[in-house]
Structure 1
Amino acid sequence: MTAQSKLRLLPWTGPEGKPCYLDTDDREGFMSRLADHIEAEQLGMAAELLGQSVQVLDDETEDLEKLRLVAAQLAGALRDVLRVATSRGHRLVTPE
């Protein structure tokens, strides 16, 4: 592992929207477990939102405001899921 790959991208951002990282080798530490829990929550919420959004998109009577709300929520969920995927991808062990 390189020094940079030891940093774990956390599933939240700092006050200015910048990424937050955790520098630890302890996957069972408090912050690692907290990050794992939040990632699981984000993935679960994204899956639930996907199901709800399909229903909204299938309903031809939905107004534009409702569609915009769903699009904004989907964008936020996609951002979270991409952050989780990036974080997990960085932690994969790659052969030398």
Structure 2
Amino acid sequence: MTPSNELRLLPWSGADDKPCYLSADNTNGYLSRLADNTEEIQLGLGAELVAHALAVLADADSDPEELRLLATDLTGALRDAVRIATSRGVRLPRPAHPAHDGLPAFS
């Protein structure tokens, strides 16, 4: 299992758009590295898409079909970003005790 004893949500979907998970002790294994690289590509493409969206939205003469395609692409990029954030959030180290979660104690 992964160090946090959780399954890793992978950055791609399986059949019927169901989530895929990885259980591995080695975070440097082939599938873990493939997932890391895929996340990096997805986030990079998302950043490029945001830049493109800003340009399209700044053009008052943008075609409605182009706006529809842009919305579809942005939705996919947002879905990927949420999946990556969820996967990474689950793998963050947990505090040893809820009372010691790094927040200052109030007297």
Contact 1:6-1:25 within 8 A present in 2 as well: no
CA distance in 2, matches of 1:24, 1:80: 22
Percent identical among aligned pairs is 54
Amino acid at match of 2:82: L
Q: Please, which runs of 5 or more residues in structure 2 have no aligned partner? A: 97-107
TM-score (norm 2): 0.84
Aligned length: 95
CA distance in 2, matches of 1:5, 1:76: 29
Q: How do 1:1-96 and structure 2 match up within 5 A?
A: 5-96=5-96
Q: Please, which runs of 5 or more residues in structure 1 have no aligned partner? A: none
CA distance in 2, matches of 1:66, 1:72: 10
Q: Which has the larger radius of gyration?
A: 2
TM-score (norm 1): 0.93
CA root-mean-square deviation: 1.7
SS of corresponding position for 1:92: coil
